[in-house]
Amino acid sequence: MSIPLHHVDAFADEPFTGNPAAVCLLPERTSDERWMQLVARDMNLSETAFVSPRSDGFDLRWFTPAVEVRLCGHATLASAHVLWESKRLAADATARFHTLSGWLTARRVADEIELDFPARVAVEAPVPEGLEKALGAAPLFVGRSADDYLVVVADEKTVRGLKPDFVSLRELPVRGVIVTSRSSDARFDFVSRFFAPAAGVDEDPVTGSAHCALAPHWRARLHKDALVGWQASARGGRVSVVVTGDRVLLRGRAITVARGELVSITS
């Protein structure tokens, strides 16, 4: 037996930008976490998604090359894209995923995909010891969300110029560190980068789940429910966000760049 495997660039307006994810379409749910972790390690992308059918939607799990994560935006967007593209889900149907973060949904809106995710509000927190030195920049604000630190710095030039000490960042008691500022480009409201060496990803190219913290943070300061962020990694990607209550709607595009089969299905 072989398993379909798709390589998708998510939050990408053209191929080979945004954040790449592998989407593995399983015929049924598996609890073999060791096997999924080995597959993710071999794929060596920031996330590999494992999708399996259930009576009321799909099970979805996400693995970096090193660990399983509780929430991932770009691999969810990629998974929904693959389900529609492969006709496992009708073009006008909502994708419903059962995950470690509860039920998540995705739907098509024109030429984009909209994800409905939980907000991750970053509450102001003391500056962790060693953070400023590890980033090489002075924080104007530090907040702590359920998953990450959110760090505001002076300007976009500072965000883009960061060369973090990943060894030091790995010691922080969080999944990762989101660094952000206002955008100097009128097309965007804010820019960000995301570093998660503790999860096996030194810098994630475009991070949907980080925008679950970025969106409420910038909404409170810019007094806008709808915003557009640019994640300023080497690949780069645009994420449109809308804050609605305790949820964040994330929009972006996805592009399949490769399809194949996984033929080694045992660990």
Distance CA 250, CA 238 (A): 10
Q: Please identify which of the residues 47, 114, 156, 203 carries the catalytic annotation.
A: 47
Residue position matching structure tokens 């991070």: 207
Helix 208-222 × helix 73-85 angle, to 10°:
120
Q: Is residue 47 flagged as an active site residue?
A: yes
Q: Tell me the C-alpha to C-alpha distance, in Å, between residue 53 and each of 86, 95, 103, 255.
A: 14, 11, 14, 22
Distance CA 55, CA 170 (A): 40
Residue 126 DSSP label: P
Residue 197 DSSP label: G
**How many other CB atoms sit within 10 Å of the CB of residue 261?**
10
Q: Tell me the C-alpha to C-alpha distance, in Å, between residue 94 and each of 23, 52, 83, 167.
A: 18, 16, 10, 41
Q: Which residues contact 49 (CB under 8 A, 6 or more apart)?
A: 21, 22, 23, 24, 60, 61, 62, 72, 75, 76, 78, 79
Which positions are catalytic? 47
